[in-house]
Amino acid sequence: MTPGNGNATVRVRNLTKEFPGGILALEGVTFDAPEGELTTLIGPSGSGKTTTLKIIAGLLEATAGDVLVQGRPVRGPGRERAFVFQDFALMPWATVLRNVGFGLELRGVPKAKREVVAREYIAKMNLTAFEDAYPHQLSGGMRQRVGLARALAVDADILLMDEPFASVDEQIRRKFQEDLLRLLSEEKKTVVFVTHSIEEAVYVSDQVVILTRGPARVSKVVRPAIDREGASQDIRRSRAYLDCVDGIWDELRGYLEG
């Protein structure tokens, strides 16, 4: 496995994580997430994908190894990183406007300014009509849009996304994938993305990091050679896309059967 280029925004080096009771989740995980690209972590259940993401976020401490973000070691959460949770992590008592602006509120941004920014990202997520709604009044897909808008609103350089589309149906999931690529083309963020879906990984990613079954190691790094200029349905039917999906499945199948 080749570590990558020197412009990587996130560099993971020999990452090891042991939980109490001697449970070894990660062992020597090494990869780069290059600046301005979407890197996906994929692997069998229990392969340490979310654990790796949380260590990059500074929400968990590694047992050994290093994570460098923009050349600096991670010692905890930082403003240059924003986390998009699988379960949305919205405040049930707060409106969409307040939820989207909450990260800015924590940073001490004045109310008037943070509401301007929040409204901008609410509009980008096609949620303008729901600014005053509460999470329980929204569908699962809409709540996830609120979570993504909140992450984008803080203008972090790096988005860390933990299976962000897992709780929505396939039709909405495909729409979210397209929306994500469109937003990233505008926002120019670096993304580390976790998914169980090979098809999703190939469709959205600049590179896919395949993890072994725990204790996780990096099995292979794949860069899908996908031309994303065409229509979504044409991309998903293309030989390059289908071959890449099959190649990743072949790599993973051994860990599932072993």
Token pair for 124 = 């980008």
Q: Contact 244/224 with Cβ under 8 angstroms?
A: yes
pLDDT for 3 equals: 42
Residue 147 counted as domain residue: no
Residue 121 counted as domain residue: no
pLDDT for 151 equals: 87
Residue 200 counted as domain residue: yes
pLDDT for 168 equals: 75
Residue 175 counted as domain residue: no
pLDDT for 6 equals: 47
Residue 205 counted as domain residue: yes
Residue 204 counted as domain residue: yes
Query: pLDDT by residue (tens digit) across 131-174?
Result: 999 999 998 888 888 988 998 898 889 999 998 887 777 888 88
Residue 172 counted as domain residue: no
Domain span including residue 10: 1-73+184-258
Residue 189 counted as domain residue: yes
Pairing of strands 64-69, 38-42: unpaired
Given strand 190-194, what is the order of strands in its sheet? 81-84, 158-162, 190-194, 38-42, 207-211, 218-222
Residue stretches of the chain with pLDDT short of 70: 1-8, 257-258
pLDDT for 257 equals: 63
User: CATH no. for residue 224?
Assistant: 3.40.50.300
pLDDT for 4 equals: 43
pLDDT for 7 equals: 54
Query: pLDDT by residue (tens digit) across 21-42?
Result: 989 999 999 999 999 999 999 9
pLDDT for 165 equals: 81
Query: How far apart are the C-alpha atoms of 65 and 16, rounded to whole Å?
Result: 6
DSSP secondary structure code for residue 163 in this structure: S
Total count of domains within the chain: 1
